[in-house]
């Protein structure tokens, strides 16, 4: 999908919320938090044209699974061009992630990435999405979200014990990168299971 087509989707659909896909510098910075050496189940909210999706697939093990949930039908069509058995694309809203994972028999996941514009989402629905997100992550799992402002820090702190935020200026527009983690499982061999 060209930048112009992406821009057209932005004009027609306010939920797209960004004029261009994320920059590769930002994709790499967000994905630094993922341990690609192991088999992961990764969920993506709002993959858009798949800039994160492709990077994750390129770096993931053969045994990993990626479940991408996208609301915009044009993006879903475009994502369908990615031929990879590890990828499952759903034309749906992030708030239905629980039902989607049920279909796979998946109770918990390692990482959830999100580019959906939480600032456009009403408080009740935002809390609902963040609550289910936190409950679906394994102990020590991470929710990695990118937003144009710092508005998500407090809502995240209601649902996650560990929340941090950094700025990434190598993107149009610059972004706030959030990392929200669930508590790591207690160590059984002296080494806590993190990342
Ligand atoms: C800012 S764009 C990010 C696109 C892509 N991840 C990137 O980094 O270039 C936000 C994306 O979230 C999608 N979106 C918005 N609300 C959503 C929701 N409730 N559930 C799933 N996708 C949603 C939009 O259609 C759009 O593709």
CA distance 55 to 119: 26
pLDDT tens string, the chain, 195 residues long: the values are: 677 777 777 777 777 767 789 999 999 999 999 999 999 999 999 999 999 999 999 999 999 999 999 999 999 999 999 999 999 999 999 999 999 999 999 999 999 999 999 999 999 999 999 999 999 999 999 999 999 999 999 999 999 999 999 999 999 999 999 999 998 877 766 555 555
CATH number among 3.30.200.20, 3.20.20.60, 3.40.50.300, 3.40.50.150, domain 23-181: 3.40.50.150
Please report the pLDDT score of residue 32 as a whole number: 98
Nearest CA to ligand 1 atom 19: 93
DSSP-derived 3-state class of residue 132: helix
> How far are the Cα atoms of 13, 50, 77, 91, 101 from residue 74, in angstroms, in the given order?
10, 12, 5, 10, 23
Partner residues linked to 166 by β-bridges? 177
Residue nearest to atom 6 of ligand 1 (CA): 47
- What does the pLDDT read at residue 62? 98
Looking from the CA of residue 69, the nearest atom of ligand 1 is 21
Predicted TM-score (pTM) of this structure: 0.93
Mutate to test the pocket of ligand 1, among 71, 144, 146 (most ligand atoms within 8 A of CB): 71
Q: What is the whole-number distance in angstroms between the Cα of residue 108 and the centre of ligand 1?
A: 22
Q: How far apart are CA 26 and CA 147, in angstroms?
A: 12
For ligand 1, say whether the CB of 133 is within 6 Å of any of its atoms.
Answer: no
Strand order in the sheet with 137-147: 87-91, 65-70, 41-45, 109-114, 137-147, 175-181, 162-168
pLDDT at 191: 59
CA distance 103 to 101: 5
Which residues have CB under 8 Å from 76's CB, separation 6+?
A: 70, 89, 91
Is the CB of 20 within 6 Å of ligand 1? no
Residue 115 beta carbon below 6 angstroms from any ligand 1 atom: yes
pLDDT score for 190: 56
* Cα radius of gyration rounded to whole Å, the chain: 16
């Amino acid at each position: 999908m060209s930048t112009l087509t992406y821009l057209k989707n932005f004009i027609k659909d306010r939920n797209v919320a960004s004029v261009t896909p994320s920059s590769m510098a930002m994709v790499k910075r967000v994905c630094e938090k993922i341990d690609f050496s192991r088999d992961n189940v990764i969920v993506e909210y709002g993959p858009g044209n798949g800039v994160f999706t492709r990077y994750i697939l390129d770096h993931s093990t053969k045994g990993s699974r990626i479940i991408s949930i996208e609301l915009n039908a044009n993006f879903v069509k475009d994502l369908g061009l990615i031929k990879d058995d590890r990828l499952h694309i759903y034309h749906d809203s992030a708030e239905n992630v629980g039902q989607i994972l049920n279909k796979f028999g998946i109770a918990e996941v390692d990482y959830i990435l999100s580019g959906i514009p939480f600032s456009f989402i009403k408080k009740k629905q935002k809390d609902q999405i963040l609550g289910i997100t936190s409950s679906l992550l394994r102990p020590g799992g991470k929710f990695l979200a990118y937003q144009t402002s710092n508005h998500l820090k407090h809502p995240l702190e209601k649902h996650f014990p560990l929340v941090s935020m950094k700025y990434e200026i190598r993107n149009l527009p610059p972004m706030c990168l959030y990392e929200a983690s669930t508590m790591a499982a207690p160590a059984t061999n002296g080494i806590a299971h993190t990342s």
